[in-house]
Structure 1
Amino acid sequence: MTHGLATLPLQLGGLLGNPLGQALAVIVAIAVVVLVGRIALKIAWRLVTIAAVVVGGLLVLSFFGVTVL
């Protein structure tokens, strides 16, 4: 069983030899980049939202004369 899995890349070696195989590889690579980017942007959006709330809260406190920094 593992012998078959070990030789699978050799059997599919010609897959990237034709233009359709190369196009598929590029599309898969773009999909991976988009997926990772979506995850990173999701985290970044949360951080920006938290920062906006904190800074807004500090601004409101400063209107009432409370100095926190």
Structure 2
Amino acid sequence: MVLTPLALTPLQLGGLLSGPLGQMLVVLVAVAVVILVGRLFLKVAWRLVTIAAIVVGALLLLSFFGINVL
């Protein structure tokens, strides 16, 4: 089996991540990924909460006028 230089690069850089600065970089990259994924989920969650508030508000207004939807 022949490995290309691109496939050997992680093996050659493995020693860089074993030191304290390398480990700190790995932790910071992991935190950045968690924050980015969290931002996407929060964006969706915020839209869902906004839509739910509008629907409940509309149902409340309809109930004030005697129209029972539920």
TM-score range, shorter chain: over 0.9
Q: TM-score, normalised by structure 1?
A: 0.95
Q: CA deviation at 1:5?
A: 1.2
User: What is the number of equivalent residue pairs in this alignment?
Assistant: 68
The answer for the alignment partner of 2:18 in structure 1 is 17
More helix by share: 1
User: Letter of the aligned partner of 2:42 in structure 1?
Assistant: L
User: 1:9-33: CA deviations, max 9, x gaps?
Assistant: 1011101110000000000000000
Moved over 2 A (4+): none
- Segments of structure 1 that go 5 or more residues without pairing to the other structure are none
Q: Percent identity?
A: 71
**Structure 2 residues not aligned, in runs of 5+:** none
Taking structure 2 as the reference length, the TM-score comes to 0.93
> Any idea what SS the aligned residue of 1:62 has?
helix
After superposition, where does 1:1-69 map in structure 2 within 5 Å?
Answer: 3-69=4-70
Q: Deviation per CA, 1:40-61: give whole Å up to 9, x if none.
A: 0000000000000000000000
- 1:34 corresponds to which letter in structure 2? I
